[in-house]
């Protein structure tokens, strides 16, 4: 079960990474990042089966952080949307070189 | 004189004072510049150059005592001072001089006031900064000659870079930006690699507490490195010094820097800063890594580069249309002689090399001053723009001729003494190289006499040249010491040779790893 | 591999079932054009993961997953999508072209290959707690929350307190950023 | 400051003032130099650049200065056409310039008599100070007085005095009058240093110093590019020779550990006779001699050197400096006697130069050029002498040549002076005052000069009893006898036996004697005989020069006539009791005796009958030459320079001096220039090191930076891509090891 | 005074300075919210924030001389390294706020919360510097990052600022995923998140070649490399630095980076020093590639802030060399470098903020042409900062010795890093290309006719500028104190625990 969990975790993490690489909508990219965090959580939970509750405690903190990030991240997305009227990352390239 | 100097404990303070005085002078200039912020440019310039001249003259006067006070025969350093600077890293303020260093220090201190006089009227803006930079530069140069702590040496070594960079870049000619950056980058490339080597040495020589040791004496007497390490370290030092010398093929910064630099910059660059490289070899590269230096492959490579530089510099300077560039390439040639002299490892050649160092300082310095003088009048350095000006500037013509002859190495002038000693000494160990090098007596005559002809001889056909005014009293006065030096060292170099003899012998002994008096050191057969 | 224990078939079956759901859901999630659809598929993945947690024996975390992730965070996402009126899949160029996708697939394969190097060594037996010791059974005192709460408020008290500051920072940040443009 | 270790017999005599010999002319140089500068100087303004701006603004205002500056430029041969007032300091200079020389000469005479009074085999060495003491290299500034240097000193100061006096007249109107005498004095200083030096380095100082003065004096009228070019050429070509001299010194020091003449003479025995080392030393020394003494292949500078004032040609390029090479070999006779191959080379080169230069002399029109090639040719003779080991003969010819060639030059100077005055008086700026085609029939106008020049011509042609006859004959008979039997004859050069080489040299000598007689007679015929080809207006102005110029000519005439008495051959004194035989031979015995003996292997002379045959042959050849010239040349038919047609065929080759200058230019000068400019400077320096190396690496770095900054697209997608790729690589690096 | 950080009381006491800062920040947060946004309020809160920082520094200096820990595997460290690094953060924060107070009105930033967020971010860094447990590390990183995400976008009126914030946030969150996954796998391999325990277990159980651990450490390295903007994880940095308000840029370049390094050094030395066979090669190459690419790309920059951004990337590369040394000396070199780099960075950015309010004219290197003629002091100050960044002795002051120390660490390292040291010096030659370019633009070119007159230098900015430059020069002449301080506070120089107290 552990092996399956860790493998699934790796797969979900990679899907999240692929999502970040392929998507251009800032919100969807951010959701992909959330998927990655979830994948990590699966690893933690699976490992906590071996080592005790520390892994689960960690998952709680990850969730908290995810929530905080979501708040700030979405605020940033709203801020950029005000300027650009778009959240397509292709269009957001004032800063380059 | 000895008694008088001893009575004021001259040796105890002189080196530190020589280092500090220019810096204080620079600060004074800075303060003066700030105080005169609202004065008009002419008044500012005038005040700045006067103050600078006073400081430099004081420096020169104070330094004169070294001629007598230094114990030239002693294996100990004269004027030795050691004060902890960064004890946490084993870095000390350690200074001291021997005969070789003393001669170069005197060359520096005596040359600087003349340099200021030489740029008396050509620096018309931002004079305070200019002279302050010149003063700081002086500290850097003197520090290099005095430092007996590798870290301190490196600091002084780098210290020279920025003032010279600004001098070339702010008061230079058309392509000053390119030239100044090139100068900076070339030099820095070499010296940073040396920095790694210095650290490596210092850390290898760490004391029992694990603190690095950078004391020159400790390292020279104690350090041995495994074969390859020794070669790498020598290579690092070589790169730094070879760029500075400059040896072929690291020389291309020199023509650009010389051509673009203002007169004072060229003079300092040629007369003193190029000596840093050769001095570095004698003081550091050879005594620290005698094994690497005497490694046949290394040595032949360096001798070959030196000879290539000698001939190459001469040939290329032959076809230069710009007088400054011509002299710059001739420096490559002359400094090649110094390198040949050093790496021939005979007493004569090394002493000759030291003489060439000094002579090149005098002759080329004077040449650049002379070029500066006509540049101020005509705003061109192209040889083709001149011709026949001996008619209108006879004094100038005389001075230029004497200096050119010294640079050619005509016997009776200083140039001959150095080159002859180098060649006669080098012939014992490197006969082929010195014969090839000797061909330069021909090329030197070609390029300098041809230049001379195109400037002061030939028809006075250009209308701009017909109204030229001859040297004024200031210019004449500042050239006289150069002429005196040229003749003195040409006819009676013994006082200088005597003073560098013991130090040179020590280097030769160290290189050959033997305790003899060194007089026959390095005889190939 | 260590940590293998024989579980009832019920658990095993559901573990694989929800695992499959999570995987397929994730794939569908990243390929949806509409942000709303993507978000909904992500919720599906999260639910599946919550179920997996329960299967593994971390019931409390499973609950938290449903409440915090699916319930709170994803709602905020959807809220923002709606707020910015981004619900339509019409927005051009959201997805990279064919080349980008294939390349991403390869990079993903490479990443997975590297990540799975983790399975190359067995875990160290001495470090692993005996079966059942790591996560006490549901019927023990303290229930399912006790084993998590104990370290949270003892060993990791500092961390717990820090999360409060973290959330505070996030609140301040979000407020400052989302305020109307002042100038 | 005389530091004399052991008391030398000369120490208490006038010889102890030997350092005054060079010092006197040096003082003259300093005074004249300062006068010249003082007169020329108008110190510039305190701020030259400010003035330059002003000058730029209105250089029209300075037209007057410009005219002044141009005063001399318009016409630049020997004399000049403007009549500015005499130089401010002309009077002082006229006293000091020749005065110091005469004083030196008097001092030299005193020393000469002192030397005659004592028996001294060892040279008198006067150490002035320690010059370059470095380790085991001890080099003193020291002067050495011995028989050889005494002869040279007398020649230099004696003939020098005469030429100085002549110059007072010749240069009287020149604006550079004190400068001229300063240079001339300086030259004498260096020349005396050269001959008096007690070691090779001091000699080398003089050696280069005279080259320098030669440079300055050839380019004396520097405003004409040709003159400046000629000066430079002289210096550079001399430097090629000096290179050889220097290498020889390196070899000497490396193998003998000293450069002092006395020590070398004492230690020369340690060198293997005929060995590679001593041969190399001698050959390198000889390279030096070919430069200074204008031998093949370095002779080309000397004809060009005629651009200098004529008295300079007489003093430097005929009487003294160019003979320094001969002196040097005589000085190094110990070494040369140990190196037969080198000696043979010297002789062969001397012989070839003699005939080669003589052949060119046949077709020259410029009177000074004829004399120049004649000098080269005669120097070749001297080298035959010292080459075959007849050092005394070489020096003897050096002395007699100094007499008659100085006379020839000064005489020609007198002619040119007259021509110039005539042209000047008629404002004729077009015609060449030195071209013989413009002269003719001057015998009537300049009888004194005519007489004296004939004496010199007969002397150089080798007609007895004029001086040249004796010296030339001695050289030829020495060559012949050495070919017969000597260490040289036993050696071999380039696969030929030494004997063959020496016979060849002897034949070359005879042939060039014939040609010499021809071209010298030609010169005299064209210049003084036949009709006068000057234009009608100028002709009345042609006249004899003033007494300051003719006076020295007369003295030289006497010397040319009786110079042979210095060293009458025994074979003649036996037949005709003219006076003491072989005086010079005996005088030089302490210096070159040992070396001469070593070369000749004891067999000093060939049989008396052979010797008489040789003498008779020489006389016949000389007279035949004169006769041929008289018979073949028709001065009446000669056209002026402007009317002449260009010569054709072989004549043209001779007139163009065998195209040697052109060949050197094409083979050496241009290739080196092209190499330096195109390959080294533009190719290696600018192209390779700078463009490819320094700027290239900078450009590559910049380009890489530009690529990097282009990757920075501003799009998060790109960044994420790179991040992931980086992560995969980092992970790979971590897991690769396991 | 000794704390037993295994007890809540001891922990609380051991967190004294951190608490002062956090409590101060919370109070200020309320103060900031108390009044409507205005320039005056922003200024007032800023000054108060400075007060909080001063108080924190004062508390900390007491701790620095008196505090120690009795716990072997405490969750936080109580050692000199922590206090020393904290000093870098606090000085950086103070300078940021000082610059911000005067720069914000020019940038039309009126949110007083910006200063509060700086305090919070600093608190996160201090936590990070103390953390000996990966959990705390994670929270510290997030606390710092979230605050800085907001700070990057604090200029609501600027699209650039918002864009920078978005980029920073998205990529930051993305990299957090890697970091977190790494922590999870390390936890999986060792069964602990505590650095000390991990280190022990790697040794005890021979885990040095363990696949899961290595992947975990690799992912951790990726996360760290992102924070310090090592090439190729650097791409966000230039854009964010350019977009952010200038004081915040300086803060990011100096303090944020220092925090990441502090965390990483502690983790490396305490937990993973036995893995050097695996991590040396990646770090070696990261350092080398960062130095080479960073310097090369910096050459191509025309915007001063972007140039300084790349410069900061490059300096991250130099510090990686010290990290690669993997010794206490390396951490000492880092401390020294941290101070030197912070001074130079704030000196430079102080001038940048005077020259160019964000997004307006004056941000290009070209706009500095001939600055010497109109504002000599600014030009001299900037030149000194550039030379300090270049690592030039005397003129560049302490910058040279910073590099010296890093090289010393590299050469003495048992890992034979001399080749890396040579890469370092060779690439710094390239860096002369752009640092000197600025100097030459200022000193060697004439001031264009139409150039804008730079604004006045207000007192706080002036204080930062003069303070930085003076310290650069002073410490360049007398670096011994700083060197001793760095050596004494290196990791391992003062042991964390003095008594045995098993967990």
Q: Using one digit for the tens of pLDDT, what is the confidence trace for D623-657?
A: 999 999 888 888 777 777 777 777 777 878 877 78
- Which residue numbers of A have CB closer than 8 Å to E's CBs? 6, 13, 16-17, 20, 26, 29-30, 33, 36-37, 39-40, 43-44, 47, 50-51, 54-55, 57-58, 61-62, 65, 68-69, 72-73, 75-77, 79-80, 82-84, 89, 92-97
Q: Is pLDDT of E112 > 70?
A: yes
Q: Which residues contact A52 (CB under 8 A, 6 or more apart)?
A: C129, C133, C134, C135, C147, C151
Predicted local confidence at residue C1, as pLDDT:
43
Q: Which residues of B96-114 are buried (b: 16+ CB within 10 A; e: fewer)?
A: bbbbbbbbbbbbbbbbbbb
Residue E214 to residue D735, Cβ atoms within 8 A: yes
Average pLDDT estimate for D686-709: 86
Q: Do A2 and C45 touch (CB under 8 A)?
A: no
Nearest to E211 among C119, C128, C166 (CB): C119
Give the H/E segment covering residue E138: helix E134-152
Regarding chains A and B, contact by 3 or more CB pairs under 8 A is answered as no
Nearest-Cα distance to chain E for C77, in Å, is: 15
Nearest to E233 among D708, D723, D733 (CB): D723
Query: Is residue B186 within 8 Å of residue B250, measured between CB atoms?
Result: yes
Note the CATH architecture for domain A2-84. Answer: Orthogonal Bundle (1.10)
pLDDT confidence of residue D664: 85
pLDDT tens digits for D373-423? 999 999 999 999 999 888 989 999 999 999 999 999 999 999 888 888 888
pLDDT tier for residue D83 given thresholds of 50, 70 and 90: low
DSSP summary character for residue E303: B
Report E:449-488 residues touching A (Cβ under 8 A). Answer: none
Provide the shortest C-alpha distance from residue A95 to chain C (in Å).
20
B147, B51 contact by CB (below 8 A)? no
| Closest of D402, D399, D435, D632 to residue D514, by C-alpha | D632
Contact flag D735-C114 (C-beta cutoff 8 Å): yes
The answer to whether D187 touches D200, Cβ cutoff 8 Å, is no
Q: What is the pLDDT of residue B92?
A: 93
Q: Do chains B and C touch (3 or more CB pairs under 8 A)?
A: no
The DSSP line for D169-192 is: HHTTT-TTHHHHHHHHHHHHHHHH
The three-state secondary structure class of B122 is coil
Position B523 pLDDT exceeds 70:
no
Whether C61 and C1 share a structural domain: yes
Q: Which residues pair with B291 in a beta bridge?
A: none
- How far is Cα of residue D54 from the mean position of the Cα atoms in its chain? 46
- pLDDT of E251 strictly over 90: yes
Which pLDDT does position B15 carry in this prediction? 93
Smallest CA-to-CA distance from B89 within C155, A46, E332 is with: E332
Tell me: the pLDDT tens digits for E404-450?
999 999 998 888 888 999 999 999 999 999 999 999 899 998 888 88
> How far apart are alpha carbons D33 and D30 in whole angstroms?
5
Work out the pLDDT band at D135, boundaries 50, 70, 90.
confident
B91: three-class secondary structure by DSSP: strand
Residue E316 has a pLDDT of: 95
Note the pLDDT of residue D1. 43
Distance CA A50, CA A43 (A): 11
Element (H, E) at B93: strand B91-97
Q: Which of D60-64, D339-343, D485-489, E10-14 has the lowest mean pLDDT?
A: D60-64
Domain boundaries, given as residue ranges, for chain A:
2-84
Q: Indicate yes or no: CB of E120 within 8 angstroms of CB of C168.
A: yes
Q: Does pLDDT of E292 surpass 90?
A: yes
CA distance E434 to chain C (A): 35
Q: CA A93, CA D618: separation in Å to the nearest integer?
A: 105
CB of A92 within 8 Å of a chain D CB? The answer is yes
pLDDT band at E148 (very low <50, low <70, confident <90, very high): very high
Q: Please state the pTM of the whole predicted model.
A: 0.91
Q: How confident is the model at residue D85 (pLDDT cuts 50, 70, 90)?
A: low
H or E stretch at D211: helix D200-218
The domain tally of chain C equals 2
- Do both C7 and C81 map to the same domain? yes
Q: In chain D, what residues touch E297 (CB-CB under 8 Å)?
A: 705, 708-709, 712
The closest CB to that of D713, out of A17, A20, A96, belongs to A96
Question: What's the rounded Cα separation, in Å, for the pair B420 and B308?
Answer: 18
Per-domain residue ranges for chain E?
A: 2-488
CB contact under 8 A, A89 and D709: no
Residue C140: how many other CB atoms lie within 10 Å: 11
| Residue B356 pLDDT exceeds 50 | yes
Q: Name the band, by pLDDT with cuts 50, 70 and 90, for residue E87.
A: very high
Note if the bond before E181 is cis, omega within 30 degrees: no
Distance in Å, alpha carbon of D719 to nearest chain E alpha carbon? 6
pLDDT > 90 fraction of chain E, expressed in percent and rounded: 64
Query: Tokens 């210019």 label which residue?
Result: B475
Is residue B245 within 8 A of residue B338, CB to CB? The reply is yes
* Band of pLDDT at residue D84, cut at 50, 70 and 90: low
Mutate to test the interface with D, among E300, E311, E314, E320 (most CBs of D within 10 A): E300
Give the range with max mean pLDDT: B388-392, D730-734, E95-99: E95-99
Asked if the model's pLDDT at residue B185 lies above 60, the reply is yes
Helix (H) or strand (E) holding E497: none
pLDDT of residue D52: 46
Q: Give the ipTM of the model, two decimals please.
A: 0.90
pLDDT of E500 reads 38
Taking only the tens place, the pLDDT of each residue in B439-493 is 988 899 889 999 988 998 888 888 888 888 888 889 999 999 999 999 999 999 9
The pLDDT confidence band at residue C87, using thresholds 50, 70 and 90, is: low
The H or E element that residue B275 is part of is: helix B274-280
Could you tell me which chain C residue has the CA closest to the CA of D717?
C96
CB contacts of C118 in chain E (<8 Å) are 185, 188-189, 211-212, 215-216
The predicted structure's pLDDT at residue D296? 86
For the stretch B18-65, pLDDT in tens is 999 999 999 999 999 989 888 888 899 999 999 999 999 999 999 999
- Please tell me the distance from the alpha carbon of residue C41 to that of residue B497, in angstroms, as a whole number: 92
Query: Does the structure show a pLDDT above 90 at D548?
Result: no
- Find which of A13, A15, A18, A21 to mutate to test the D interface (most D CBs within 10 Å of its CB): A21
Pick from B505-509, D91-95, D704-708, E288-292 the range whose average pLDDT is largest.
E288-292
Residue E361, pLDDT score: 62
The mean pLDDT value for D71-81 works out to 40
| CB nearest C73 (choices: A24, A66, A77) | A66
- Which residue do the tokens 């530091």 mark? D3
Collapsing DSSP to helix, strand or coil, C85 comes out as coil
Looking at chain D, how many residues does it have?
Answer: 738
Average pLDDT over all residues of chain D: 84
- Interhelix angle D447-461/D467-484, rounded to 10 degrees, is 10
Q: Clarify whether residues C3 and C80 are in a common domain.
A: yes
Q: Is residue C65 part of a domain?
A: yes
Same domain? For C84 and C151 the reply is: no
What six digits make up the tokens of D673? 């220039």
Q: Percentage of chain C surpassing pLDDT 70? A: 80
Average pLDDT of every residue of chain C? 81
Instruction: Taking each helix axis as running N to C, give the angle between helix A54-84 and helix C74-83, from 0 to 180 degrees, rounded to the nearest 10.
Output: 0
Asked whether residue C10 falls in the same domain as residue C75, the answer is yes
The pLDDT value given to residue B262: 92
Same domain (yes/no): C11, C58: yes
Does residue B153 carry a pLDDT above 70? yes
Whether C125 and C182 map to the same domain: the answer is: no
What's the pLDDT score for residue D656?
79
Same domain, C82 and C166: no
| CATH code of C22's domain | 1.20.120.1200
What is the rounded distance in angstroms from the CA atom of residue B119 to the CA atom of residue B126? 13
Do both C1 and C89 map to the same domain?
yes
pLDDT at D14: 78
Do C40 and C126 fall into the same domain?
Answer: yes
Q: Bin B149: left if φ > 0, else alpha if -120 < ψ < 50, else beta.
A: beta
**C128: nearest CA partner in chain E:** E191
pLDDT of residue C140: 64
Least confident of B244-258, B506-520, C32-46, E136-150: B506-520
Supply the pLDDT for residue D41. Answer: 73
**D519 pLDDT higher than 80:** yes
Above 80 in pLDDT, residue E310?
Answer: yes
| CA distances in angstroms from E192 to B360, C165, E8, E221, E272, listed in the order given | 72, 25, 20, 18, 13
Range of the domain at C177: 140-183
pLDDT-derived band at A69 (thresholds 50, 70, 90) equals: very high
C124 and C152 share a domain?
Answer: no
DSSP string, chain C: -TT-----HHHHHHHHHHHHHHHHHHHHHHH-SSHHHHHHHHHHHHHHHHHHHHHHT-HHHHHHIIIIIIIIIHHHHHHHHHHTT---TT-TT-B--HHHHHHHHHHHHHHHHHHGGGGGSPPPGGGSPPTTTSS--TTSTTTTTHHHHHHHHTTTHHHHHHHHHHHHHHHHHHHHHHSPP--
Based on the fold, state whether residues C125 and C163 are members of the same structural domain.
Answer: no
Query: What phi and psi values does residue D399 have, to the nearest 5 degrees?
Result: -70, -50
Which of A38-42, B231-235, D354-358, D684-688 bottoms out in mean pLDDT, i.e. has the lowest?
Answer: D684-688
Mean pLDDT calculated for residue range E7-13 = 86
Assess whether pLDDT exceeds 70 at residue C92.
no
Task: Check whether B412 has a pLDDT greater than 80.
Answer: yes
């Amino acid at each position: 079960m552990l092996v399956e969990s860790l493998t699934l975790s790796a797969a979900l993490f990679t899907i999240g990474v692929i999502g970040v690489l392929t998507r251009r909508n800032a919100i969807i990219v951010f959701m992909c990042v959330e998927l990655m965090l979830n994948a990590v959580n699966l690893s933690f939970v699976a490992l906590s089966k071996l080592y005790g509750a520390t892994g689960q405690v960690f998952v709680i903190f990850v969730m908290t952080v995810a929530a905080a990030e979501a708040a700030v991240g979405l605020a940033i997305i709203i801020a950029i949307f005000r300027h650009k009227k778009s959240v397509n990352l292709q269009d957001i390239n004032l800063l380059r070189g | 004189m000895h008694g008088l100097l001893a009575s004021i404990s001259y040796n105890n303070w002189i080196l530190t004072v020589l280092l500090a005085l220019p810096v204080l002078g620079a600060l004074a200039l800075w303060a003066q510049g700030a105080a005169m912020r609202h004065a008009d440019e002419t008044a500012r310039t005038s005040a700045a150059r006067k103050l600078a001249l006073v400081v430099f003259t004081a420096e020169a006067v104070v330094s004169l005592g070294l001629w007598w006070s230094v114990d030239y025969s002693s294996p100990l350093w004269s004027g030795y001072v050691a004060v902890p600077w960064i004890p946490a890293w084993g870095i000390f303020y350690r200074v001291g001089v021997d005969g070789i260093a003393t001669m170069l220090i005197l060359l520096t201190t005596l040359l600087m006031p003349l340099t200021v006089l030489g740029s008396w009227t050509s620096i018309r803006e931002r004079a305070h900064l200019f002279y302050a930079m010149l003063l700081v530069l002086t500290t850097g140069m003197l520090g290099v000659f005095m430092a007996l702590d590798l870290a301190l040496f490196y600091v002084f070594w780098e210290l020279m870079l920025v003032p010279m960079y600004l001098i070339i870049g702010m008061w230079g000619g058309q392509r000053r930006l390119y030239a100044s950056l090139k100068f900076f980058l070339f030099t820095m490339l070499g010296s940073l690699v040396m920095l790694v080597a210095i650290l490596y040495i210092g850390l290898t020589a760490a004391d029992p507490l694990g603190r690095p040791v950078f004391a020159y004496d400790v390292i020279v007497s104690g350090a041995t490195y495994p074969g390859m390490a020794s070669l790498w370290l020598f290579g690092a030092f070589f790169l730094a010094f070879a760029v500075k010398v400059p040896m072929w093929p690291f020389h291309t910064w020199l023509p650009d820097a010389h051509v673009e630099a203002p007169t004072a910059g060229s003079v300092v660059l040629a007369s003193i800063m190029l000596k840093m490289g050769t001095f570095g070899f004698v003081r550091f590269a050879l005594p620290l890594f005698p094994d690497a230096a005497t490694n046949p492959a290394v040595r032949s490579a360096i001798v070959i580069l030196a000879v290539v530089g000698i001939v190459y510099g001469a040939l290329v300077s032959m076809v230069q249309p710009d007088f400054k560039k011509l002299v710059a390439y001739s420096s490559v040639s002359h400094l090649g002689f110094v390198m040949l002299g050093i790496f021939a490892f005979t007493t004569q050649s090394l002493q000759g090399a030291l003489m060439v160092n000094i002579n090149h300082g005098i002759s080329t310095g004077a040449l650049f001053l002379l070029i500066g003088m006509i540049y101020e009048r005509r705003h061109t350095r192209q040889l083709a723009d001149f011709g026949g000006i001996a008619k209108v500037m006879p004094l100038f013509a005389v001075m230029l001729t004497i200096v050119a002859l010294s640079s050619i190495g005509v016997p009776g002038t200083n140039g001959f003494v150095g080159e002859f000693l180098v060649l006669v000494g080098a012939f014992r160990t490197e006969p082929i190289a010195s014969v090839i090098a000797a061909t330069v007596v021909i090329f030197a005559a070609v390029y300098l006499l041809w230049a001379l002809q195109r400037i002061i001889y030939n028809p006075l056909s250009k209308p701009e040249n017909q109204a030229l005014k001859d040297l004024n009293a200031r210019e004449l006065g500042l050239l006289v010491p150069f002429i005196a030096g040229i003749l003195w060292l040409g006819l009676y170099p013994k006082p200088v040779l005597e003073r560098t003899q013991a130090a040179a012998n020590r280097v030769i002994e160290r290189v050959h790893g033997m305790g003899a008096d060194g007089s026959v050191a390095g005889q190939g057969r | 591999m260590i940590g293998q224990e024989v579980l009832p078939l019920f658990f095993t079956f559901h573990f694989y079932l929800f695992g499959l759901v999570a995987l397929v859901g994730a794939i569908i999630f990243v390929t949806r054009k509409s942000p709303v659809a993507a978000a909904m598929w992500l919720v599906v993945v999260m639910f599946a993961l919550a179920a997996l947690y329960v299967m593994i024996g971390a019931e409390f975390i499973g609950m938290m997953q449903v409440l915090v992730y699916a319930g709170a965070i994803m709602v905020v996402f959807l809220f923002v999508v709606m707020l910015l009126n981004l619900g339509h899949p019409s927005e051009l160029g959201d997805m990279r072209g064919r080349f980008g996708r294939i390349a991403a697939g390869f990079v993903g394969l490479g990443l997975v290959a590297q990540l799975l190097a983790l399975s190359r060594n067995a875990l160290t037996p001495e470090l692993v707690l005996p079966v059942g010791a790591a996560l006490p059974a549901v019927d023990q005192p303290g229930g399912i929350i006790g084993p998590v709460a104990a370290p949270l408020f003892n060993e990791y008290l500092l961390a717990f307190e820090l999360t409060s500051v973290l959330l505070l920072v996030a609140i301040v940040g979000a407020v400052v950023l989302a305020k109307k443009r002042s100038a | 400051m005389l530091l004399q270790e052991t008391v030398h017999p000369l120490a208490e005599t006038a010889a102890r003032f030997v350092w005054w010999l060079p010092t006197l002319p040096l003082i003259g140089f300093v005074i004249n130099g300062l006068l010249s500068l003082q007169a020329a100087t108008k110190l510039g303004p305190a701020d030259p650049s400010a003035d330059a701006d002003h000058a730029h603004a209105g250089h029209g205002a300075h037209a007057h200065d410009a005219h002044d500056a141009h005063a001399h430029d318009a016409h630049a041969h020997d004399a000049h056409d403007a009549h500015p007032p005499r130089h401010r300091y002309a009077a002082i200079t006229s006293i000091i310039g020749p005065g110091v020389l005469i004083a030196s000469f008097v001092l030299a005479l005193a020393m000469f008599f002192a030397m005659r009074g004592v028996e001294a085999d060892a040279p008198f060495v006067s150490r002035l100070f320690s010059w370059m003491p470095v380790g085991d290299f001890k080099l003193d500034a020291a002067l050495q007085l011995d028989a050889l240097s005494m002869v040279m000193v007398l020649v230099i100061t004696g003939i020098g005095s005469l030429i100085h006096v002549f110059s007072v007249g010749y240069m009287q109107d020149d604006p550079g009058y004190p400068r001229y005498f300063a240079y001339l004095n300086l030259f004498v200083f260096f020349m005396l240093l050269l001959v008096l030096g007690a070691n090779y380095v001091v000699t080398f100082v003089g050696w280069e110093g005279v080259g320098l003065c030669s440079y300055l004096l050839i380019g004396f009228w520097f405003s004409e590019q040709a003159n400046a070019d000629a000066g430079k050429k002289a210096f550079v070509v001399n430097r090629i020779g000096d290179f050889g001299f220097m290498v020889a010194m390196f070899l000497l020091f490396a193998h003998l550990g000293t450069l002092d003449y006395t020590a070398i003479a004492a230690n020369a025995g340690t060198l293997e006779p005929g060995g590679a080392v001593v041969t190399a030393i001698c050959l390198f020394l000889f390279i030096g001699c070919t430069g200074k003494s204008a031998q093949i292949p370095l002779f080309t500078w000397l004809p060009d050197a005629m651009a200098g004032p004529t008295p300079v040609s007489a003093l430097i390029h005929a009487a003294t400096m160019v003979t320094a090479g001969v002196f040097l070999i005589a000085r190094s006779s110990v070494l040369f006697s140990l190196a037969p191959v080198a000696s043979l080379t010297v002789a062969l080169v001397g012989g070839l130069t003699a005939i080669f230069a003589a052949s060119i002399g046949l077709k020259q029109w410029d009177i000074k050029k004829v004399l120049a090639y004649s000098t080269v040719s005669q120097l070749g003779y001297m080298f035959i002498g010292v080459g075959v080991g007849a050092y005394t003969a070489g020096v003897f010819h050096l002395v007699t040549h100094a007499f008659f060639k100085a006379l020839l030059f000064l005489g020609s100077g007198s002619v040119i002076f007259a021509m110039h005055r005539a042209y000047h008086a008629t404002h004729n700026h077009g015609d060449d005052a030195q071209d013989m085609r413009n002269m003719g029939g001057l015998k009537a106008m300049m009888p004194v000069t005519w007489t004296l020049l004939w004496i010199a011509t007969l002397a150089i042609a080798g007609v007895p009893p004029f001086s040249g006859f004796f010296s030339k004959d001695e050289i030829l008979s020495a060559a012949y006898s050495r070919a017969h039997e000597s260490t040289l004859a036993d050696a071999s050069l380039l696969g030929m036996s030494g004997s063959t080489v020496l016979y060849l040299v002897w034949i070359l000598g005879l042939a060039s004697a014939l040609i010499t007689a021809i071209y010298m007679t030609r010169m005299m015929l064209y210049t003084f005989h036949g009709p006068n080809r000057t234009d009608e207006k100028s002709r009345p102005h042609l006249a004899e020069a003033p007494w300051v110029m003719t006076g020295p000519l007369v003295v030289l005439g006497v010397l040319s006539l009786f110079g042979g008495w210095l060293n009458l051959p025994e074979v003649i004194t036996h037949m005709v009791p003219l006076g003491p035989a072989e005086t010079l031979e005996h005088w030089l015995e302490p210096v070159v005796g040992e070396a001469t003996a070593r070369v000749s292997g004891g067999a000093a002379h060939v049989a008396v009958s052979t010797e008489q045959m040789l003498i008779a042959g020489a006389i016949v050849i000389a007279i035949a030459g004169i006769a041929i010239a008289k018979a073949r040349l028709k001065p009446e038919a000669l056209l002026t320079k402007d009317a002449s047609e260009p010569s054709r065929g072989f004549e043209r080759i001779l007139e163009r001096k065998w195209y040697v200058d052109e060949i050197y230019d094409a083979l050496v000068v241009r290739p080196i220039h092209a190499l330096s400019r195109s390959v080294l400077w533009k190719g290696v320096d600018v192209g390779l090191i700078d463009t490819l190396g320094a700027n290239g690496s900078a450009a590559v770095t910049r380009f890489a930076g530009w690529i990097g900054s282009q990757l920075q697209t501003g799009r998060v997608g790109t960044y994420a891509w790179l991040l992931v790729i980086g992560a995969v690589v980092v992970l790979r690096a971590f897991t690769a090891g396991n | 005074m000794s704390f037993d950080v295994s007890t809540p009381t001891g922990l609380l006491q051991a967190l004294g300075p951190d608490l002062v800062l956090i409590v101060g920040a919370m109070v200020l947060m309320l103060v900031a919210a108390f009044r409507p946004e205005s320039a005056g309020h922003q200024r007032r809160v800023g000054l108060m924030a400075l007060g909080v920082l001063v108080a924190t520094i004062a508390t900390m200096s007491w701790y620095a001389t008196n505090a120690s820990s009795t716990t072997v595997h405490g969750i936080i460290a109580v050692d000199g390294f922590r206090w020393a690094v904290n000093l870098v953060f606090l000085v950086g924060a103070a300078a940021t706020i000082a610059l911000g107070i005067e720069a914000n009105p020019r940038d039309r930033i009126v949110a007083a919360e910006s200063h509060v967020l700086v305090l919070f971010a600093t608190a996160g860094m201090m936590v990070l510097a103390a953390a000996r447990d990966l959990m705390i590390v994670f929270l510290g990183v997030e606390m710092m990052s979230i605050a800085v995400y907001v700070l990057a976008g604090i200029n609501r009126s600027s699209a650039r600022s918002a864009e920078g914030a978005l980029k920073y946030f998205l990529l930051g969150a993305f990299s957090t995923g890697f970091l977190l996954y790494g922590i999870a796998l390390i936890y999986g391999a060792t069964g602990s998140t505590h650095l000390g325990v991990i280190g022990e277990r790697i040794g005890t159980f021979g885990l040095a070649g363990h696949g899961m651990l290595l992947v975990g450490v690799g992912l951790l390295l990726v996360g760290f490399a992102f924070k310090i903007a090592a090439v190729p994880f650097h791409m966000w940095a230039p854009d964010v630095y350019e977009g952010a308000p200038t004081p915040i840029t300086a803060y990011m370049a100096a303090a944020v980076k220092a925090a990441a390094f502090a965390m990483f050094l502690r983790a490396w030395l305490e937990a993973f020093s036995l893995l050097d066979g695996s991590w040396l090669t990646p770090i070696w190459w990261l350092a080398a590639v960062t130095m080479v690419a960073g310097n090369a790309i910096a050459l191509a920059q025309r915007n001063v802030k972007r140039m300084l951004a790349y410069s900061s990337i490059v300096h991250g590369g130099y510090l990686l060399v010290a990290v690669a040394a993997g010794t206490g000396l390396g951490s000492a070199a880092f401390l020294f470098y941290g101070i030197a780099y912070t001074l130079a960075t704030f000196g430079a950015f102080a001038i940048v903020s005077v020259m160019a309010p964000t997004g307006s004219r004056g941000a290009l290197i070209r706009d500095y042409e001939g600055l010497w003629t109109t504002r000599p002091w600014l030009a001299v100050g900037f030149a000194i900062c550039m030379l300090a960044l270049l690592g030039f002795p005397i003129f560049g002051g302490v910058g040279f010795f910073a590099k010296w120390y890093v090289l010393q660490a590299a050469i003495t390292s048992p890992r034979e890093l001399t080749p890396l040291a040579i890469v370092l010096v060779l690439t710094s030659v390239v860096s002369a290309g752009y640092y000197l370019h600025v100097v030459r633009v200022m000193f060697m070119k004439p001031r264009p006719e139409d150039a804008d007159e730079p604004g006045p230098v207000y007192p706080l900015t002036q204080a930062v500028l003069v303070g930085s430059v003076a310290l650069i020069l002073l410490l360049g002449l007398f670096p011994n104190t700083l060197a001793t301080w760095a050596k004494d506070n290196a990791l391992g120089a003062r042991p964390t625990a003095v008594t045995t107290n098993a967990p």
